[in-house]
Structure 1
Amino acid sequence: MTITLSIRKAVAGDLPAITALYAREVDEHVATYEYDAPDQAEMTRRWQAIVAQGYPYIVAELDGRFAGYAYASSYRSREGYRWTVEDTVYIVPELQGRGVGRALLQTLIDECTQLGFRQMVAVVGDVSNTASIALHERLGFRTVGVFSGLGRKHGRWLDTVQMQLDLGAGLTTAPESA
């Protein structure tokens, strides 16, 4: 049996599935330190803002079924960070371990490189999120720091893992628009 994995740009019709997946993450896990799951209207506003700023926002489908989403966004708002993006990747839990995360993150890396970004940062919620850490490591990210007890959720203090990947020429040359 052949399984078909496809990656495409997110569209408005994906927002119900994206909202539901993110709500599950907010309610049950610590990949995000958000306490209250946003509704679909708020998730739509977030998606529109990211896309309007020119960042990629993509969806994975496994045999035509929504399997996860990923996007890049501004790492920080100051002008000097404009060549750095932060990645976000969420996979439907039942579909993890099938290459969906890798395909989404690799596509995001490729698109951000083509857009001229030079660094990608992963902000991984808690050191217990070993699957996310391993995914990022497999695609070349290196851990650059761990903030101990930076967040609190579900009655416990959580560490935050910072990982980084050079995109394109990375630090070897100035960006064209510098």
Structure 2
Amino acid sequence: MLEEEYQERRVLPPHLRKPVPAEAPFEYAIRDAAATDLPAVREIYNYYVANSTVTFDEDAMTLQEWKAKFAYLEKLGMPFIVAESPSGQLLGYALVSPWKPKRAYRFTVENSIYLGPAASGKGLGRVLLAELIERSKAAGLKEMIAVIADQGAEASIALHEKFGFEEIGRMGRVGFKFDRWLGTVLLQRSLK
């Protein structure tokens, strides 16, 4: 008997196979972040602090730090959005913050997008980035910068490039985390 014939016979005929349950659709709603979301936002972010190099933070952010950041971004009118499941679980968030504190930079922002483990690989990052860009345009912002780690964040770089971000530079060995040197890739997109 030929190997390919043997393989075909090892597979049960369709009428004898157990049906594979359909995966539930991935559902969510995008909305403005609220102060009540901050504990979940903190947990999502702190997971990346402890387990990855996508953020150069080495210390977990406290709830008080998130409250201060939220108040600051709200005062500036900067978009801060979340994705929430039908059951109320926070799946991810996206925000923009001032690129630099000097007044001349007031129309240029840096974006941040973080997804909870249950939401990774399902296209939610793409949805959040698209919404963040639209809300940033509506807020009168003109340029968006993405500062992405040069190791371990290839998916983030590819996502930004799909949205028209162009690489404008690299900085090597500017961060040291998990006993290794890391650099950053800078990407920029006009919001006009």
TM-score (norm 1): 0.89
Point out 4+ residue stretches in structure 1 off by more than 3 angstroms: none
What RMSD, in angstroms, separates the aligned Cα atoms of the two structures? 1.3
Deviations 1:25-58 (Å, cap 9, x if unpaired)?
1111111111110111221111111111110111
**Partners of 1:151 and 1:158 within 8 A in 2:** yes
Matched residue type, 1:129: A
Per the alignment, residue 68 of structure 2 pairs with 45
Query: Partners of 2:189 and 2:124 in 1: how far apart?
Result: 19
**Partners of 2:169 and 2:185 within 8 A in 1:** yes
> Percent of counterpart pairs with the same letter?
38
Residue number among 131, 140, 152 corresponding to 2:164 in the alignment? 140
Matched residue type, 1:124: I
Per the alignment, residue 37 of structure 2 pairs with 14
The residue correspondences of 1:121-160 to structure 2 (distance < 5 A) are 121-160=145-184
Query: Partners of 1:133 and 1:85 in 2: how far apart?
Result: 17
The residue correspondences of 1:26-45 to structure 2 (distance < 5 A) are 26-45=49-68
1:57 and 2:80 equivalent? Answer: yes
Unaligned runs of 5+ in 1: 169-178
Matched residue type, 2:39: P
Further displaced range: 127-136 or 149-158: 127-136
TM-score (norm 2): 0.83
Unaligned runs of 5+ in 2: 1-23
Query: Partners of 1:115 and 1:106 in 2: how far apart?
Result: 14
Which of the two has higher C-alpha Rg? 2
